[in-house]
Structures are given as C-alpha cells and as structure tokens.
Amino acid sequence: MTNYHIKTDQELTGLLRVGDESAFLELYNRYKFRITGNLMKLLKSEDLVEELLQDLFLKLWDTKAQLDPDKSFRSYLFKISENMVMDVFRKAARDKRMQVKLMSAQTETYSHIEEKIFRDQDNSLLQQAIDKLPPQRKQVFMLCKIEGKSYKEVSELLGISASTINDHLLKANRFLKKQLNPPSSFAVAIIAGAILHGL
C-alpha cells in the first residue's frame, strides 16, 4: 500500500495531475490548517474561511491537469487563496450583503493590508491619489483608514458628525477608485475596507 505521508509535495502534485484522489487528500490535510490560519487573519470570519477553503480545494481539483510539479505547490496554493480573498473584497465593494457579512466578523481595521500597501511600490500611487482629496476629506480618510481611529475619535478631533465622516469616506472611496484605474489588488482591498467601515 502506498504511503502518501512520506511523499514530497512535488510527487503528490504529479499524482494529483492524473487524478489520484489519495494524493489530493494528503495535500488537503497537509495544507488545510495553514491556509485556514492565513485566511482567518485576513477575513476574521469562520463562515467565510470555511467557504473559501472549500472553494479553493474544489478549484484545485478542477484545475489539477494544469498543475506544474516543478513549481512550489505551497506558493501556488497561497497565491490562489490570496486572490480569492481579494475577490471577496471586490465583491464587498458591490454587494451590501457581503459588506454586512464582513462587517459583522471584522473586529479591527484592515491594518494587515494597509501595512502591506505602505511597504509596497503601490504606496506612492495611493498617496498621490489621497493627496488630491479635499483637505478635510483627506484628513478624515487618513485618520479612519490609515491611523485606524474610530468614528467617535474622529468626530471629537474634528468636531464633525458621524454622518459627515461617513459621507467623506464614501466620496473618498469613489474618488480613489477612479484615480487608481486599474487599481492594484491591495488598493482595491483598502478601498473596500473604506466602504465597509463607512456603513
């Protein structure tokens, strides 16, 4: 009987390409917890994570013939999962139900994405776009989305109402989407975050 536990990712990927279900199961068991942990950091929702994990491995099975055993399976899997997360953020920018779903699960700002943006080459483009916002709108956006302050804190700092803050964020979002065209994936994510926290 074949012992799949001692096989390398490369060997398992080769077997998966030709439809070996045991190889697929071994890869699933090998990576499900790592992928789940990464998705939880990004989405903060067990329901969404479970849904994406299932979709991820279904997609893997459906596209198994396209796998390249010579390339890192781990990198390939994490890249697909991150692309799926970005798709969730893009959908949230258009879908009220998805916004509510993410908002109910989200307990902190999108700092992990924001930090990556400001380490990334997209930083300069995003900052240039933010600099074009009207002064108060820029200040509201920076305080809420970059510094992670709450509506209450910003309201007390600037002496404006929560509805005014919400209006500034929504208008800033629309402006930034136009400026960042085509937007980078991380820019899309922070803009989606602006919508979500602007509800």
Q: Do 182 and 152 fall within a single domain?
A: yes
Q: Do 121 and 85 fall within a single domain?
A: no
Give a yes or no: residue 60 inside a domain.
Answer: yes
Say how many domains are in the chain: 2
CATH assignment at residue 39: 1.10.1740.10
User: If you write DSSP's letter for every residue of 96-154 in order, what string do you get?
Assistant: HHHHHHHHHH--S-SHHHHHHHTTSTTHHHHHHHHHTS-HHHHHHHIIIIIS---HHHH
Give a yes or no: residue 33 inside a domain.
Answer: yes
pLDDT tens by residue, 142-158: 888 777 778 788 888 88
User: Between 191 and 147, where is the model more confident?
Assistant: 147
pLDDT tens by residue, 57-112: 999 999 999 999 899 999 999 889 888 888 887 776 666 665 555 555 553 434 44
Of the spans 101-110, 130-139, 177-186, which averages the highest pLDDT? 130-139
| pLDDT surpasses 90 at 177 | no
* Domain limits for position 27: 4-92
126 touches 117 (CB < 8 A): yes
Q: Do 170 and 127 fall within a single domain?
A: yes
Of 22-26, 58-62, 142-146, 181-185, the range with the lowest mean pLDDT is 181-185
Tell me what pLDDT residue 147 has: 74
Percent of the chain with pLDDT over 70: 72
